[in-house]
A and B are shown apart, each in its own frame.
Chain A
Amino acid sequence: MKDKLHQLKLKYQGTKMAPAFNALHTFLYTPNETTHSGAHVRSADDLKRTMNTVIMALVPCLLFGMFNAGYQHYSAINGFPENFSLFEHFLTWENFLVGIPTILPLVIVSYGVGLAIEFLFAVIKGHEVEEGYLVTGMLVPLIIPVDTPLWMLAIAVAFGVVIGKEVFGGTGMNILNPALTIRAFLFFAYPTWMSGDKVWVHEAVERAGTADAISGETVLGSLAAGSEPTFSLADMFYGFIPGSVGETSTLLILLGALFLIFSKIASWRIMVSAVLGSLAMGLIFNGVVDAGWLPTYSKFYTLMSFPYWQHLLVGGLAFGIVFMATDPVTGSQTNKGKWIYGFLIGFLSVMIRVFNPGYPEGVFLAILLMNVFAPTIDHYVVRGNIKKRLKRLKTATIYPKSSDEVDSLKTETA
């Protein structure tokens, strides 16, 4: 199989479809050629392995999302079980059978449309297919509501890949995170499918207005409406709450984060600083409420008095911090820059969450905004470093390194 593929590659070399073929070839096996000129670093992880590692970190979230889709569906119909049991109520085939047929098509459409466009551009422009879409294609189904119509998703993916990435020159050149561009497009184009209390539960839209109507409001949604959430903290942490497909389970996201940090794929600096940023903003809001500056009838009261650390458990904040903010292409590159970049993402996410009148979520907007500022942050960090080093050079006295050099210098000057 491997040798046959190598031979086939030689046969197609130079033809128009070669990039498309090479993409599949190198996805399955390491290429049989090596670089011949110049210095190069040998490493086990190329772009494809990096992407696959992220996808592995996302799989638990996806599987959980499938169970949760069914769980939310049935608990909206039958009422929430009083004494919840993981194996009796959550990990059941019934839940999974609702989840697979609703979520798998999202994954297929996301990958199908996105990769088709990537291959098309590679063939037209004659470059190799880049692997950037592998992760985007997996992220997209995880950050949208379960019942998003497939044609909307297809249009959004086409928009995100072409306008968000290909116009800038493809993978590695994009300014904005493509998955979030797709999410933002869907949100602004079809707001009724992206927010409200009908979209988070499977079949809630079709049943609206009938006797069987069901609904499920996200925790943030009910907070924005001024009512206390009905879910326990454990539910929020484990993820048994309505929300986008893969964002609900903080526990599994945390596992994914540890995996990514351990394999050194994602930056721990961004994750830690983003968590700190969100906690800081949450504390400020809590402080304002505790100090009594905010009247209880204010429409921001419930969201602002929401305990600061619980912001990390609900909505897409945890998911965004771990899988979106750490995108190496659109994030800051310098270590100091990563701290600033991450902190502001957390800070702004919670701020937008509280003050956004139309939609109680702000993670994707905060990350997109900071994507735009990331190069600026890096620029000033680098400039600051140059200045510091120049100052050090000015005050430094330069001594010869060893006594041998001193001797040789003496003989030269003598």
Chain B
Amino acid sequence: MGLLSKKDANLILDPLADNNPITIQVLGICSALAITAELKASVVMALSVLFVLSMGNVVISLLRNVIPSKIRIIVQLVVVAALVIIVDQVLKAFAYELSKTLSVFVGLIITNCIIMGRFEAFALGNTPGKAFLDGIGNALGYGIILVIVGFFRELLGSGTLFGFKVLGDPVTKTGLYSIGYENNGFMIIPPAALIVVGIIIWVQRSRNRELIEEA
């Protein structure tokens, strides 16, 4: 990380693991449960949040000295809404099928707690450059969990990855399916994501015991 000072690098690296928005702060769970049945949807969702969060952080940071603190939430909402609409329109134009899979959850990025949380906690008190890095870091931390969850749910639930039949064809019984393997229907339904996220939290905290909260 020759480009960035150690402090700036931490803005990106910290949210990836030890201060992950999903597994440590437990924010943004709703979308993590809803759209991770397919890896493709997870990746697109992660990219959308990356765009909205990094751009939004910069905009809020630029405006931080002119926003009256009494109405700051409304201003923040306007900024997120504008960015989310851009993402939504782009998806509808260039990836219509995918935007149908994601359905309302693109629009619901507006209510994603991670975004409002970073605006409040970071962008309102830091320079645009730092806010940008913070946005990238937190969005990546969010995205990494989405991709992990999406990977396991699609692999075990549908036997595919990005739509490719990596385990063989369940209809013509090739690959793993020829020896009696079957897709796990439980992984397709949203509660499975809750359990996968739970297992990630469990693994992470047993590797780094400092993360365990006191009861």
| Contact present for A188 and B180 (CB under 8 Å) | no
A163 at the interface (CB under 8 A from B): yes
The reply to whether the CB of B184 lies closer than 8 angstroms to some CB of chain A is yes
A151 to B179, CA, bound (A): 11
* Residue contact B185 to A191, C-beta cutoff 8 Å: yes
Q: Is the CB of B184 within 8 A of A189?
A: yes
Q: Which residue of A lies closest to B156 (CB)?
A: A189
Question: Knowing A167-B202, A188-B185, A189-B185 touch, does A149 contact B195 (C-beta < 8 A)?
Answer: no
CB distance from A356 to the nearest CB of B (A): 16
Flag whether A231 is at the interface (Cβ < 8 A): no
B180 in contact with A190 (CB, 8 Å): no
Contact of B186 among A149, A185, A192 (CB under 8 A): A185
A163 to B197, CA, bound (A): 12
Contact string, A153-185, partner B, CB cutoff 8 A, digits 1/0? 001000000010001000000000000000001
Chain B residue numbers with a CB within 8 Å of A192 are 182
Task: Kindly state the separation between the CA atoms of A182 and B198 in the bound complex, as whole angstroms.
Answer: 18
A190 and B187 alpha carbons, distance in the complex (Å): 10
Residue of A nearest to B182 (CB): A190
Q: Is B189 an interface residue (CB 8 A)?
A: yes
| B180 cross-chain contacts in A, Cβ below 8 A | 149, 151
Q: Mark B172-191, 1 if CB is under 8 A from A, else 0.
A: 00000000111011110100
Enumerate chain B residues within 8 angstroms of A189, measured Cβ to Cβ: 184-187
Q: Give the dominant DSSP class at B's interface.
A: helix
CB distance from A371 to the nearest CB of B (A): 16
The A contact surface, by secondary structure, is: helix
Q: Is the CB of A190 within 8 A of B195?
A: no
- Across the two chains, which residue of chain A brings its CB closest to B195? A163
Given the interface contacts A149-B180, A151-B180, A167-B202, does A188 sit within 8 Å of B186 by beta carbon?
A: yes
A149: chain B residues within 8 A (beta carbon) = 180
**Number of B interface residues in the complex (CB < 8 A):** 11
Kindly state the separation between the CA atoms of A149 and B177 in the bound complex, as whole angstroms: 13
In the complex, A328→B167 CA distance in Å? 43
Q: Which residues of A contact B202 (CB under 8 A)?
A: 167
Complex: A185 Cα to B195 Cα, angstroms? 12
Shortest Cβ distance from A184 into B: residue: B186
Please measure, in the bound complex, the distance between the C-alpha atom of A191 and the C-alpha atom of B184, giving whole angstroms: 9
Closest to A188 in B: B186
Which residues does chain B contribute within 8 Å of A193, judged by CB atoms?
182
Cβ distance A206 to chain B, nearest Cβ, rounded Å: 11
Most B C-beta atoms less than 10 A away, residue of A152, A155, A188, A190: A188
Among A152, A188, A189: residue with most chain B CB under 10 A: A189
Q: How far is the CB of A61 from chain B (nearest CB, A)?
A: 27
Give the CA-CA distance A185 to B185 in the complex, in Å.
9
Nearest-neighbor residue (CB-CB) of A150 within chain B: B180
Give chain A residues whose Cβ lies under 8 Å from the Cβ of B198. Answer: 163, 167
Question: How far does the Cβ of B184 sit from chain A's closest Cβ, in whole Å?
Answer: 4
> Nearest Cβ distance between residue A291 and chain B, in whole angstroms?
38
Tell me, in angstroms, the Cα distance from A125 to B118 when the chains sit together. 38
Interface string of A290-310 (1 = CB under 8 A from B): 000000000000000000000
Contact partners of B182 in chain A: CB under 8 A:
152, 190, 192-193
Question: Which chain A residues lie closer than 8 Å to B184 at the CB level?
Answer: 155, 189-190
Q: How far is the CB of A41 from chain B (nearest CB, A)?
A: 29
Give the interface centre of B182, B186, B202 by most chain A CB atoms within 10 Å.
B186
Alpha-carbon distance A306/B49, docked complex (angstroms): 54
Contact between A188 and B195 (Cβ–Cβ < 8 Å)?
Answer: no
C-alpha spacing A163/B198, complex, angstroms: 9
Map CB proximity to B onto A189-220 as digits: 1 under 8 Å, 0 otherwise.
11111000000000000000000000000000
What is the bound-complex CA distance between A163 and B189, given in angstroms? Answer: 17
Which residues from A are CB-within-8-Å of B189? 188
Closest CB of chain A to B168's CB: distance in Å?
16
Closest to A193 in B: B182
- C-alpha gap A192/B180 in the complex (Å): 13
The smallest beta-carbon distance between A342 and chain B, in angstroms, is 27
Shortest Cβ gap from B187 to chain A (Å): 8
Residues on B with C-beta less than 8 A from A188 are: 185-186, 189
B181: A residues at CB distance < 8 A? 151
Most buried by A among B181, B184, B195: B184
* Cα A204 to Cα B186 with chains together (Å): 24
| Residues of B contacting A151 in the complex (Cβ-Cβ under 8 angstroms) | 180-181
B185 partner residues in chain A, CB cutoff 8 A: 188-191
B213 to chain A, nearest CB (A): 16
List B contacts of A163 (CB < 8 A): 195, 198
**Distance between Cα atoms of A192 and B185 in the complex (Å):** 10
B197 CB, nearest partner CB in chain A, Å: 12
Interface set, chain B 112-150, CB cutoff 8 A to A? none
* Chain B residues within an 8 Å CB radius of A155: 184
User: Cα distance A288–B189 when bound, in Å?
Assistant: 35
Question: When chains A and B are docked, how far (Å) is the Cα of A188 from the Cα of B182?
Answer: 13
A155 to B184, CA, bound (A): 10
Inter-chain CA distance A193–B180, complex, in Å, is 12
Contacts of B186 in A (CB 8 A): 185, 188-189
Q: With CB as the reference atom, state the residue of chain A lying closest to B189.
A: A188
Closest 3 A/B residue pairs (Cβ): A189-B186, A188-B186, A189-B184
**CB pairs A–B below 8 angstroms (23 shown):** A149-B180, A151-B180, A151-B181, A152-B182, A155-B184, A163-B195, A163-B198, A167-B198, A167-B202, A185-B186, A188-B185, A188-B186, A188-B189, A189-B184, A189-B185, A189-B186, A189-B187, A190-B182, A190-B184, A190-B185, A191-B185, A192-B182, A193-B182
Chain B interface residues toward A at CB < 8 A: 180-182, 184-187, 189, 195, 198, 202
Given contacts A189-B185, A189-B187, A190-B185, 8 further A-B contacts (CB under 8 A): A151-B180, A155-B184, A167-B198, A167-B202, A188-B185, A188-B189, A189-B184, A190-B184
